[in-house]
Structure 1
């Protein structure tokens, strides 16, 4: 598992995100989860470059870490500038906003403590 450090307390102090930002990030997270459920390979296109590169030879095929990401409806999204966190009942995803839209930087993430998440995909 890959570890993701998220200083949520500091991020929560940042304000100024719009409902549109939250909606766009949440839609990107849901699109990723749907792509995973549909077989995983199209989910790779929705990953941030570093998260995709972190998969190595395993890629996004059957049995890869992407294939193991829990499925579920996104129920909450919080945006801090160009970073976001989306949650479902089964998963926490992290996203970053690139010039061409939101990309998943961490998926299949479970909290290890208040600031650190272990992620199946990405998280570095």
Structure 2
């Protein structure tokens, strides 16, 4: 009987630890699910602006590092590099997101003033690496 009582707290701790891990994963997953519509809306605005040839709007939707990578020529000349297929899906993980169309993948980051595109015109090189025409991951 003493062995059972001595082992009981260990079992309880393992069960509580398991519940805590599940709760933490659910909280993180819940954040991604809640943020995905906002990230998807930003991706749709970006694609729509690119379709219209609205270079200033496209530049405004780029993250600062991606905008800097465009260089002094601005966003106008690179608009042709963006496929103009509608966004089909988006998924968010905390402050990072990915939006997909039939033609390419966009990567986004949630900045204090909203979601911005960090990579556009992206195509998978392998399972983990994407090549992007602007920015990248």
Q: TM-score range by the shorter chain?
A: 0.7 to 0.9
Against the structure 1 CA distance between its residues 113 and 103, is the aligned structure 2 distance closer, same or farther, given a 3 Å change threshold? Answer: same
Count residues with an aligned counterpart.
109
Separation in 2, partners of 1:109, 1:119: 4
Which of structures 1 and 2 has the bigger CA Rg? 2
Separation in 2, partners of 1:101, 1:51: 15
1:104-115 equivalence runs, <5 A: 104-115=117-128
1:12-71 Cα distance to aligned partner (Å, 9 max, x none): xx633243311000010010000001114121000000000000122111xx22332001
Partner of 1:23: 37
Partner of 1:99: 112
Structure of higher RCO (CA pairs closer than 8 Å, 6+ residues apart): 1
Q: Write 1 or 2 for the structure with the bigger share of strand.
A: 1
Gaps (5+ residues) in structure 1? Answer: 1-13
Separation in 1, partners of 2:66, 2:79: 10
Partner of 1:88: 101
TM-score, reference length from structure 2: 0.75
TM-score, reference length from structure 1: 0.82
Q: Write 1 or 2 for the structure with the bigger share of helix.
A: 2
Separation in 1, partners of 2:94, 2:33: 12
Separation in 2, partners of 1:92, 1:99: 23
When the two chains are superposed, the root-mean-square deviation of aligned CA atoms in Å is 1.4
Partner of 2:67: 52
Which aligned runs of 4 or more in structure 1 are off by greater than 6 angstroms? none
